Structure 1
Amino acid sequence: MARIGVFLPNWVGDVVMATPALGGLWQRFSDRATLVGIMRPYVAEVLAGSRWFHEQVVGERRGLAGLCALAARLRRLRLDTVLLFTNSFSTALLARLSGAGRRVGFSRDGRGWLLTDRLNAPRVGRDYLPRSAVAHYLDVVGVLGCDTGFRPLELATTVEDEAEADALWARFGWRAGDKVAVLNTGAAHGAAKTWPDEHFTALARWLATTRQLRVLLICGPAERRAVAEICRQADHPFVKSLADQESRIGLSKACVRRGSLMVTTDSGPRHFAAAFDVPCITLFGPTDPEWSDNYNRRAIDLSLDLPCAPCAKRTCPLGHHRCMRELTVEMVAAAVTQLMERSGTSTDLPGRWHAAERR
């Protein structure tokens, strides 16, 4: 039986956007090949509970020693084919060192000579055209004849994830039928993608008082202090956070899955909402929504129509951060109202708004 290895992306959101491609791969090869996922530990947390692989290789590959150790481990697996969802030179080198006879990926960053099947991303001159990562990963598995038609993002939770969420709900005094708005303040790309904490505070208070929703702020280790302060400033018994919980991706997944609504920056957890079919509002500033479109029709993407946006910078090069600062709480509240009114119907939601056009 053939052995197919898959190098998974290194970003949480990208991993979730890869699930349609993983679904196509599983559909075609689950009974005719051994599928091996090659991933970092936190990626394994994102995919925990899912069925995509028969085997997993989980580990870090920092430095030359880590690279050599992983290459030796992969050679022992005797892979026939390797699919690269990553674009880095180092993973292409690992694929070559694995001994796999067929190596499929995008030819970029000078790594084309390491691949046997080279794909080219659309570009104009030196610039790559904005295109969803979902389509990017489907292109890779399409080389092996997998179905590249539309399929939604998909995740699962584990029994342990749900038990931890049950305990959290009980501690908060929440019941299973309570409507919960999940707020995600983090942004791994940098400060430019963040929405001001005072905006999140006002939104949390409005959701709790005006909409009578329970509000849960999820966070990673880097956001704990800020999230705890948002919760304190909101000063409402319905507003809670994960600031005092051990940071576990599985718990965040379980919390989002239970949500009635999510409001989030352009960061990985927003794709949890798409995977669990939870209505979602994403706040965009410096990033182009086309790159991370997850085809969630129960979603609204909010952005301002500014001449400087999207700049794709980690910090605002002009120093004013208007693209996020001027996305007002009132704009987000209006989107919440429309999303909640229509999310219970079969009607598709509008998908993308320039918030400035709705003032």
Structure 2
Amino acid sequence: MKIAVFLPNWLGDLVMATPMLRAVRRHFGPETRIVGIMRPYLAEVLSGTDWLDEQWYFNPHAEQRRLRHLAVVQRLRREEFDLALLLPNSLRTAVVAWLGGVKERIGYARYGRGPLLTRKLDSPRAHGRMIDYPMVDYYLKLGAAAGCAPESPRLELATIEADERSADAVWENLGLRTDGRVVIFNSSGAYGAAKLWPMEHFGELARRVVDELDHDVLVMCGPKERDLARDIVRLSDRPRVFSMADQPMGIGTAKACIRRGRLAVSTDSGPRHVAAAFGKPVITMYGPMLPIWSQNPTVHAVDLLLDLECVGCQNRVCPLGHHRCMQDISVDQVYAEVARLVGECRAACAA
């Protein structure tokens, strides 16, 4: 049997799909060939896991023709897949699977793609309206529709030797502590500016973590966030605050670095889920998105959210112009949670 899994386009969503991938592999067994179809920039996310036999890369906007619709459709036709699981809700993925001749196509009937699916799932609803729903459970329902047994919602990632070697070099280059006393900061927000916590807040928080908790701080960043990471280091005015701005930028390296941290302080973006997948406590500042999308009982999570009418607006930029949902989450509030978690970690290590 051959299964094609169209994977989510965002880092965090892909991490939240790992329980479903685990369920699919467990149900169909090692004799089934499972191919993940994904964005090229996510190539390293699942390295070290064994759920996929192969990864194909698909980007409809790419300059290289081999990554576009026609190339993927032709490849699907040549391989003659039996089943496609469509995790993105887009019409595009359903069209590609249908044109690719996949015999059975399972997905949520959204955006007019219902006629292209052989097995349709309805989005979670209450009183006739769609409701916010944990993404891990949303994806697991697709696995259940394919016959998979109930699976733990535990997020899971792994690293490979090359990732760890790269992280070794980062630790050596920056002079980070090797005894676990490193707090990971993630200030990114690829979704949009509305998800960002002020860099001045991050800088002050970093200073307090170094001065009061005797931990190093490592600020993660992507290629477009180098200046933001450098600004946080500058604003902290502490030599034990470091950034990844001038270090290797691969997702594999980021995974290995996050895995070495004691805990993570993050905006609601991809690295937050990476930390959770490695079992790290995660403090997340929420604003335009509600925590329910990331809700997972297996994650040691502290979700900080203000009681404002506009919270959960889902806008990429604050339409009201004040950005209070993030601006007003205080450094004191976040620091109190960091100090509590560091204390718990110290107590557990001493036990």
Per the alignment, residue 255 of structure 1 pairs with: 257
Superposed counterparts of 1:170-319, under 5 Å: 170-319=172-321
Q: Deviations over 1:225-281 (max 9, x none)?
A: 111121122121110000112321111111110000100000011001110001110
**Any conservation in 2 of the 1:178–1:214 contact (CA below 8 Å)?**
no
Aligned to 1:75: 77
CA contact (8 A) 2:275 2:282 kept: yes
SS of corresponding position for 2:227: helix
Q: Which amino acid aligns with 1:80?
A: D
Distance 1:335 1:178 in 2: 18
User: Quick check: 1:119 aligned with 2:118?
Assistant: no
* Structure 1 consecutive aligned stretches of length 4 or more whose deviation exceeds 4 Å: 124-127, 343-346
State the SS of the aligned residue for 2:156.
Answer: coil
What is the aligned counterpart of 1:136 among 135, 138, 145? 138
Counterpart Cα distance in 2 of 1:9 and 1:60: 12
Cα deviation for residue 305 of structure 1 reads 0.7
* 2:281–2:301 Cα contact (<8 Å) kept: yes
Deviation at 1:46, TM superposition (A): 1.0
CA pair 342-26 structure 1, distance change in 2 beyond 3 A: same
Q: Give 1:149 deviation, angstroms.
A: 3.1
For each residue in 1:162-181, what CA deviation from the matched residue of structure 2 results, as whole angstroms up to 9, or x when unmatched? 10110111122234214100
- For residues 275 and 335 of structure 1, the distance between their equivalents in structure 2, rounded to whole angstroms, comes to 20
1:287 partner SS: coil
2:87 and 2:346 map into 1 onto residues whose CA distance is 35
- Give secondary structure in 2 for the equivalent of 1:316: coil
Superposition RMSD on alpha carbons, in Å?
A: 1.7
2:38 alignment partner in structure 1: 39
Per the alignment, do residues 151 and 309 of structure 1 end up closer, same or farther by CA in structure 2, a change over 3 Å counting?
closer
Following TM superposition, by how much is the alpha carbon of 1:63 offset from its aligned partner in structure 2, in angstroms?
Answer: 7.3
Equivalent residue number for residue 2 of structure 2: 3
* 1:297/1:60 CA distance change after superposition, 3 Å: closer
Shift of 1:125: 6.8
For 1:315-348, what per-residue CA distance to the aligned partner results, in whole angstroms no more than 9, with x for missing partners? Answer: 11111111100100000011112222334678xx
Distance 2:208 2:347 in 1: 24
Equivalent position SS for 1:45: coil
* Contact kept? 1:17, 1:294, Cα under 8 Å: no
- Sort the Cα spacing of 1:26 and 1:178 in 2 relative to 1 into closer, same or farther, 3 A: same
- 2:265 and 2:180 map into 1 onto residues whose CA distance is 17
- Percent identity between the aligned chains? 46
| Structure-1 residue corresponding to 2:326 | 324
Q: What TM-score comes out, normalization by structure 2 length?
A: 0.94
Matched residue count: 345
| Runs (5+) with no aligned partner, structure 2 | none
